[in-house]
Structures are given as C-alpha cells and as structure tokens.
A and B are shown apart, each in its own frame.
Chain A
Amino acid sequence: MRGNKGTCRATHSRTLEALRNDGRYRTATVSMVTDSTPLDGVRSRVVLQDEVTKKQLQYLEKSAKEAGWPMAEVEKFLPHYSPQQIKKAMRTLSLEEAQRLLGETIERNAAGYTEEQARYIDKLNRGQYDLRWLDDERPTWGVRASPSKRGLTLMDINRAYAGTPEDVAPHNSMGPRGAELEAGAPEMGYSLNHKYEVWADNVTELYEEAISRQWSATRDIPWDDLKPLPEDLERAQCEFCTFLTEIEMVASDFPAKWLWRVNQHFHEVKMFLCTQALDEARHLEVFRKRALVNGGGLLHATAKIEQGLTDIMFAPTFVQGSYMMHIVGEGLVLDIFRAGEFLAQNKVEQKIYRLCMQDEARHVSYGTKHMKHYLEEHPDRAEAEAQLHRAAEIGEETFASFLLNPYIVEPLAVLAGGGIKHIDRGMEAVKIVWKYAHEEYLKRCDAAGFDRRDRVKFLPEAPY
C-alpha cells in the first residue's frame, strides 16, 4: 500500500504545550517529506503553529472553493488542525469523510470531553461499568505458550498463536497481529506492508539473540587494564577508532529511518531493527571511549568516507539500503572487526573488537536472509534482482573506497605490523582483510541466491 508523497507534522503533545507557552517557538513548524497515506499528517492532532496568517486564510478559502467545502466548515477545523493539515484533508478526503474522521476531536463539551467520553463519565459516576470488553471476541483465549529452556522466547509465543505473518499486512494500524481490531483505527502511514520487503526467516531468532547477547561498553570492557602505547600505535588506534566512530551510527540511523514505515504486522522486524540501532549506538560509544581513554583522542574524520554513508541513508528503497548496509557495509566492517582482534595491542582492544564482531555478524545475518527472502518472494524476480544489482554497484564502489583510503589502510597496517617501522609487514594483514571481505561478500550473495560473481566491481585481491 504505497501512498503519495506528502508532508506530515509530528511531535509530542506535551512538548507542544511547552512550545505553545514559549513565544520563541510560537510559529515553529516541523515537517518532513515522506511516503504517506492520505490521512497521514491529517489525523495528527499536534499543531505547532497556532496562529493562522491572513495569507494562509486566503489560501484556505481558495482551496475550500476548489474542493467545494463551505468555509464555515473549514473554520470549524481551524482551532484543531493546521492550515496545511486542512489543506491536505481537502485534497484527499470528501467533506463528509473529513467530518467523520476528524470531527470527533472537535465536538467536545465545555470540560473538553467528547460526547462518548462524557457519557462514560456519567455512567461511572452512577456506579455503572461498561464491560463491553468482556463480551468481545477472544481469539486467543485458552492459548498457553510454553517457555523453553532459555525462558519464554518470541519463538515460543509464535508457536502458540499468530506466529506467522501474512504476506500482506491486513491493515495499516498498530493493532497487534492476532488481536481483534475495531473499526475506525487511524492509518499509521506504513509504506512497507509486504512481507517480502522486510522479512528474514531468522529475524525472530536474531531478535532474541540480540537481546540475549547485549553488553555494556561501560561495564564489560576492562578499561583500567589499558596501558599507554607507543605514540605511533596509539595514533593508529585512535585514527582507526575515529573512522569507526564516524561510520557506526549510520547503521543506527538507517534502520531508524525505515523503522516506522514497516507495518507493525511484522513486529519482529521492527524489534530486530531496534536492537541493531542500539548495537550501533554502543559501537559508537565504545570506539569513542577507546579514542579518548588513552591519551590519543579523536583524530581525522574524512569526508570521502561519508559519501558511502549517504548512499545508504538515501537509498530509495529499504531493500537497496539494506543491501548496501547489511551485506556490503557491515560485511566489510565485520571483517575489519575480526582483523581488529588480530590487530589489538592489548586484551582491552581485543575484547572490544570481539564483542563488536558478534553484533556485526548478527546484522549481516539478517541482511543475508532478508535478501534471500526478498528474491524468493518478490512477485517479479527479474525486477528484484535488478534492484539489488543497482544497489550492489554502488555499494561495491564504497567498499573499494574504504580499503583504498590512507586514513583506514595505513592505521590498520601500522597496528598489524606492530608499529610504523613495520608498516610493510602490516600491509599483508590488510591484504588478507580485502581477500576475506571479497570472498565472504560473494558467498553471502550465493547463500541468498543472488549471483554477483560475474559482475562484482572490486577485485578479489588488493591492488597493492
């Protein structure tokens, strides 16, 4: 279910109150362009702009005339919705629909309650309860999920009830999968409503694994054991950590960007992406801490590295961004972390890299299985492959740009060689990373049933 491009406004209602009370923000607006359904942004009752200008009113009058809405009706909406929201409603809804869908928030009594709320308050004050919920359908009544040895997992509850999502989400709301959803729920504006767009057959297990294998950069790294390093090694480690601090957060930002667009019918995917966002936040944290804990500090961040990150962030579809991030980017970072353990100058760094490596391998695993599911279930396999090839071509160029960047390659070589004097020896380790990254990338494509072997854009061996 794909909607039109539109504009939506959103913030928290309590924040709104604060903003309204602060003159500086009186006319502030927040907007973002997004895929949206017709009601997206219309039903949001949060309005950051509470003064309607003369110009806006004139524009509304013009739009109302075009839509055939009496201006008197438009004015009823104005205290509750922004001019932009009303304009959007005029474009996407009939007057009757708008009155039905938006009117509830307008018809309130003097105390601020809707008619239905006032009736319920009256009933409660007379000692009567509604109790309709006791007569509702009970589709899960009597279901008892059995915990496994490791506790009550998502796999356990999925075995008990509604564990398999449908191929197309049945509605566009937050109503839980398997629950009875009453009519009239607002559209949430999800744009990823097909299972093949987001699903991976291991995503439920990966979520549980992620929760189970969390660690703390504050508590679990023996920072006190870190000893001063020779300047060349400290500098190399800090340059490398600066690079990692720079890039890690993209793997939080990317899932966060798409998270709300994933239909809640596929809640396991949303939950897994939440764990990934947290994992990557921790990676930023641990590398920033490492850079700042031993006398070196944050060094040089390079603009070129970020070009690859923008490719991921601004990928036009989730699967293309996922390919560039989970398969190409995190696959390479996984190899770098694995090398990091080899390059560590002490057990503190060794543990950092090992724990990050575990997290990264989990993300790569989701990406691989997601790609497999996407290719197998997409209604047009050729189109699905074409999309992934387009992502691969960009992603593979980014791969090469990372391992041809002196701010990445040379610190790695200094660490691997044990100092600047042995940088030549260290380059051998960098070549091994390149070779592994190439081989494993293609093997992950193979595992997903995606043939990149004849098209891959980077060489199997480092060109140095």
Chain B
Amino acid sequence: MRFPSIEWFAAVKAAADGRVDEFKTLGFCDATVRVVVQTSSGDEDFVLFFEDYGCRDVVVGDDTSAEDFTIAADLEVWRSMLESIREEGTPSLGLSLASLQLPGKLELRARSQEHEDLFFRYNQSFQEFFNSSRDVATEFAAPSQEGTSG
C-alpha cells in the first residue's frame, strides 16, 4: 500500500477498527484531523474523522474540510515514524507525534488554541491510530521510492 494515499489511510483505519477494544480503553476522542504529507511533487492531504472510540472515516482533504487541527510533515519524517512503528510496534523515542512536534519536525496548525489543544488531549488515540499501521504493508512515495517496508 502506497503512503501517502487514501487507500493507505483506509487500510490503517480498518486495522484500527480491529483494535476497538484497545481504543475503548483509551477513551473517546472527538476531533477532525487534517494530515498533510509534504512530498517533492506537492502536498497531499487527508482528513481523519475521529469519533467515539475510533476513526469514523478518512477522506482526501479539500478546502471544505473543517478540521480541528492540521499536522503536517515532510514525507521523510512520516516515513521515519512509520518505519519505526513497523519495526518496534510503537515509534522510537523522538519519533512519536508529540516528540516530532516539539522541535517543529511535525507542524501543528489550528484556527485557535482550543482546537490545537485537542492534539494533546487525545494524543494517545492519534498515536495508536498511526501505530495500527504496523499491520499494513507500506511502500513510500517519492522522493525515496526505492525504500519500502512491510
């Protein structure tokens, strides 16, 4: 499955759906998250609708999406996190969403601080969503198309 693509996000959502009991222990999570992957050929963005105990839907992002916040990073940053998840089940130190955000490798944008704070309030749920990618065979788009994992 190519990352980034809507098929990849749908596959991760399906994997996360299979862990619903684990997500329930994390508690409910209501947030609309725009994920931007910056590639050599431009930005690709996707919108993830988190609701209740999981991700309700994933769609390709467009201008009409009313996201609570956006997380944006270069493809290589996403790749580092996802490969690390693939190898260890969870991201290595420094490669979690929150760890990447502090030094600015992952940019967090929101229309207000209240919306931005949702990133912190539900962080474990978002991280577990991406951790579900360990069960999804992933290949990466340009600029590093030779690299694959899974």
Residues of A within 8 A of B (CB): 149-150, 208-209, 211-214, 334, 338-339, 341-342, 344-347, 350, 354-355, 357-358, 360-362, 364-365, 368-369, 429, 432-433, 436, 440, 443-444, 446-447
Q: Is the CB of A341 within 8 A of B122?
A: no
Q: How far is the CB of A46 from chain B (nearest CB, A)?
A: 39
B90, CB-defined interface residue at 8 Å: yes
Q: Is the CB of B102 within 8 A of A447?
A: no
Given pairs A211-B27, A338-B98, A429-B103, 13 additional interface contacts (CB within 8 A): A209-B121, A341-B96, A350-B93, A350-B99, A354-B123, A354-B127, A361-B121, A368-B114, A368-B117, A433-B102, A440-B116, A446-B112, A447-B113
Contact status of A444 and B113, CB under 8 A, knowing A338-B120, A347-B90: yes
Q: Which residue of A lies closest to B118 (CB)?
A: A361
Q: How far is the CB of B96 from chain A (nearest CB, A)?
A: 6
Interface residue ranges of B90-128 to A (CB < 8 Å): 90, 93-94, 96, 98-99, 101-104, 112-114, 116-118, 120-124, 127
B6, CB-defined interface residue at 8 Å: no
Cα distance A212–B116 in the bound complex, in angstroms: 21
Select A355's contact among B52, B53, B93, B124, beta carbons within 8 Å.
Answer: B124
Q: Which residue of A lies closest to B101 (CB)?
A: A338
Contact status of A362 and B121, CB under 8 A, knowing A150-B52, A444-B113: yes
Residues of A within 8 A of B117 (CB): 334, 361, 364-365, 368
Q: Is the CB of A447 within 8 A of B114?
A: yes
Q: Which residue of B lies closest to A211 (CB)?
A: B27
Q: Is the CB of A342 within 8 A of B99?
A: yes
B26, CB-defined interface residue at 8 Å: yes
Residues of B within 8 A of A447 (CB): 112-114
Q: Is the CB of A338 within 8 A of B113?
A: no
Residues of B within 8 A of A334 (CB): 117, 120
Q: Is the CB of A432 within 8 A of B98?
A: no
Q: Is the CB of A342 within 8 A of B102?
A: yes
Residues of A within 8 A of B90 (CB): 347
- A selection of 6 A-B contacts at a CB cut-off of 8 Å is A213-B28, A338-B101, A339-B102, A341-B96, A358-B124, A443-B112
Cα distance A228–B116 in the bound complex, in angstroms: 36
Q: Is the CB of A361 within 8 A of B120?
A: yes
Residues of A within 8 A of B112 (CB): 443, 446-447
Q: Is the CB of B28 within 8 A of A209?
A: yes
Q: Is the CB of B103 within 8 A of A342?
A: yes
Q: Is the CB of B26 within 8 A of A446?
A: no
Interface residue ranges of B42-61 to A (CB < 8 Å): 52-53
Q: How far is the CB of B131 from chain A (nearest CB, A)?
A: 12
Interface residue ranges of B119-147 to A (CB < 8 Å): 120-124, 127
Q: Is the CB of B93 within 8 A of A357?
A: no
Cα distance A62–B114 in the bound complex, in angstroms: 60
Select A432's contact among B102, B118, B124, beta carbons within 8 Å.
Answer: B102
Select A350's contact among B52, B96, B102, B104, beta carbons within 8 Å.
Answer: B96
Contact status of A432 and B120, CB under 8 A, knowing A150-B53, A346-B93, A350-B96: no
Cα distance A26–B12 in the bound complex, in angstroms: 68
Residues of B within 8 A of A433 (CB): 102
Residues of B within 8 A of A149 (CB): 52
Q: How far is the CB of A121 from chain B (nearest CB, A)?
A: 49
Interface residue ranges of B1-35 to A (CB < 8 Å): 26-28
Q: How far is the CB of A414 from chain B (nearest CB, A)?
A: 16
Q: How far is the CB of A462 from chain B (nearest CB, A)?
A: 15
Residues of A within 8 A of B53 (CB): 150
Cα distance A150–B94 in the bound complex, in angstroms: 33
Residues of A within 8 A of B103 (CB): 342, 429, 432
Cα distance A127–B113 in the bound complex, in angstroms: 65
Residues of B within 8 A of A346 (CB): 93
Q: Is the CB of B113 within 8 A of A368?
A: yes
Q: How far is the CB of B115 from chain A (nearest CB, A)?
A: 9
Residues of B within 8 A of A357 (CB): 98, 120, 123
Q: Is the CB of A443 within 8 A of B113?
A: yes
Cα distance A213–B27 in the bound complex, in angstroms: 4
